[in-house]
Amino acid sequence: MRRALLNRSNRLKRSNRLRTLAVALGLTAFVVPLFAHHSSAMFDDKKEVTLTGVVKEFQYTNPHSWLLVDVKGPDGKVTTWGFEAEGPSTLQRAGIRKGDLAPGMPVTVTGHPMRDGRPAAAWIRATRMTDKKEFVPRAGFAIR
Amino acid sequence: MTAMKTALRLGVLVGAIAVLAAIAISMASAQNAPAWIDQDENWATSKQTLQAFGERFETSEALYEALKRAAGSIEPLTWQQMGEPAYDWSGIYTRTKGGLQFDPDMSQESGPASAKLTPAGQQVLKTKAEQLARTGGEYDPISDCRPPGTPRWFTEPFLHEFIVTPAQTWLINEMVNDVRRVYTDGRDHTPAEDAYSTWNGDSIGFWDAETLVVHTKYLLPGQYQRGVQPNYSDQTTVVERWHKVDARTLQADVWVFDAVNLSEPWYTRQSWTELTNDDKQLRIRYWDCRENPNNAIITTDAGTSQFPDFTFVPNDGEVSSDPAVKQAQEGRGGVR
């Protein structure tokens, strides 16, 4: 009986310690990584960049897809930007097929830019300018 | 001499009582094994019951054996049964909820995991929290397309297929072509002297009516997921009970045992929902990081992740402010 009480007491103490740790860690808990396959540390999730250009290539690949868009700057210089999204099956679930964003199509894309200054971003949403249809890759995680 | 005989008899008697007590406890454990519990409005209480049930066992083997005894006579499935709703797990599924949390009842903002941890396990969480606070990021080992491994396997959010046959059940994760095979033909685990560890270990199981009970051991170490979630060691073993709860939903009771990181078994209810796939365009396809060089990931000195070399950026080393990118470029001699 005494042993059982001691065990219970130890368990309660351990439980309290865990609760304390939980509170301490909860203060520093981070929001979920944007991507499920690699950490999104390279993207600045506090910033957004919106660019308009022409689809150069839609790399519909695992584990991640890349929408390459040629963007013309004020000086007329063209820079290719890469927008990263989840892989093909998640895009399909979001209603984004490879043919939806074919080379040459004008698009406006919004994403979280890279922290290191390179022309790439985590794709948040893209609008096909011809019909204003919007493509949101993260919608692919919804259950339908 | 008489005293010696008496002591011997006493010893035998005590031994017999101990054996009988062990058998009684074991039978009681089997008899008290909770049947499948639906997730209703009383789920919080039910979850505590299932957690407490796991805590009654010192090892996953003891829990598995208790479930086996509770099942009574075990009859292998037949091919004729495969079309019955309980065993027809066909379709494309995805994780029902939980995001990247191992415990689906936890939200991303819930903080650390619901597991009861050893001091070593707590230290792991503390170290991870400090890394995230210091750098704002982390490096995930699966960035190179290695398998997530079990038990992390339960948390992966992509497509799944589940194939039931009388002798084996295949639990398929689209990501990195990851298949867990559960042998239900009555075989035992590989003998310890011949066993070797793998990402998903060695799984055996049996059918208790419409519930598949699984035991897994011989696992490689890993982490339950990214963020502030625990690690698991190579001593980890797992007991699962899989059940089709309705036409679109498969669920599993999961008890993880790991003496290194867990002070008690960690119980969670995992769930997968069948996706609508009317045009049959959702398919499980081969998955490899080398499909696209833009998906290559390196770890930085700070322990976070970075892309070393984009195909669409002609001069990554000059444009990037990250020393890790410059180092990667120099390492390649500027040649792609």
Place of tokens 């599924």: B93
Judge whether B134 is closer than 8 Å to chain A, CB to CB. Answer: no
pLDDT in tens, chain B (336 residues): 555 566 556 655 555 555 555 545 555 555 578 999 999 999 999 999 999 999 999 999 999 999 999 999 898 899 999 999 999 999 999 999 988 899 999 876 666 678 999 999 999 999 999 998 998 889 999 999 999 999 999 999 999 999 999 999 999 999 999 999 999 999 999 999 999 999 999 999 999 999 999 999 999 999 999 989 999 999 999 999 999 999 999 999 999 999 999 999 999 999 999 999 999 999 999 999 899 999 999 999 889 999 999 999 999 999 999 999 999 988 764 434
pLDDT of residue A24: 35
Residues of A within 8 A of B263 (CB-CB) are: 14
Per-residue pLDDT at B111: 61
Residue A136 C-alpha, separation from nearest chain B C-alpha, in angstroms: 17
Which of A38, A66, A71, A98 best probes binding to B when mutated, by most B CB atoms within 10 angstroms? Answer: A38
Q: Could you tell me the pLDDT band of residue A20, with boundaries at 50, 70 and 90?
A: very low
Nearest CA-CA distance, residue A29 and chain B, Å = 5
> How does pLDDT run across A71-126, given as a tens digit for each residue?
999 999 999 999 999 999 999 999 999 999 999 999 999 999 999 999 999 999 99
Residues of B in contact with A22 (CB under 8 A): 111-112
- Say if the Cβ atoms of A116 and B282 lie within 8 Å: no
User: What's the Cα-to-Cα distance from B198 to each of A45, B175, B234, B239, rounded to whole Å?
Assistant: 36, 17, 9, 17
Q: What gap in Å lies between CA B44 and CA B114, rounded to an integer?
A: 13
- Residue pair B324/B306 in contact by the 8 Å Cβ criterion: yes
Residues of A in contact with B99 (CB under 8 A): 32
Instruction: Give the ipTM.
Output: 0.86
Query: Among residues of chain A, what percentage have pLDDT more than 70?
Result: 76
The sign of the dihedral angle between the CA atoms of B286, B290, B292, B298 is positive
Top residue of B93, B249, B291, B301 to mutate, by most chain A CBs within 10 Å, is B291
- List the end-to-end C-alpha distance of chain A, in Å, as a whole number: 54
Give the phi and the psi of residue B26 in degrees, each rounded to 5.
-60, -40
Chain A interface disruption, residue of B103, B135, B158, most A CBs within 10 A: B158
What is the nearest CA distance from A50 to chain B, expressed in angstroms?
18
Q: Which residue of A has its CA nearest to B228?
A: A29
CA distance B68 to chain A (A): 28
Q: Is A102 on the interface with B (CB under 8 A)?
A: no
| pTM for the whole structure | 0.85
Interface check A21 vs B, CB under 8 A: yes
Name residues 115-144 of chain A within 8 A of B (Cβ). 115-120, 141, 143-144
A87 touches chain B (CB under 8 A): yes
Nearest chain B CA: its distance from A79 CA (Å): 9
Does A95 reach chain B within 8 Å, measured CB to CB?
no
Interchain pair A119, B319: CB under 8 A: yes
* CA separation, residue B154 to residues A88, B75, B248 (Å): 21, 27, 18
Task: Give pLDDT, residue B32.
Answer: 79
Q: What is the pairing mode between strands B222-223 and B231-232? A: antiparallel
Q: Is B321 on the interface with A (CB under 8 A)?
A: yes
Tell me whether the omega of the peptide bond preceding residue B151 falls within 30 degrees of 0, making it cis: yes
- Three-state DSSP at B144 gives helix
pLDDT at A12: 37
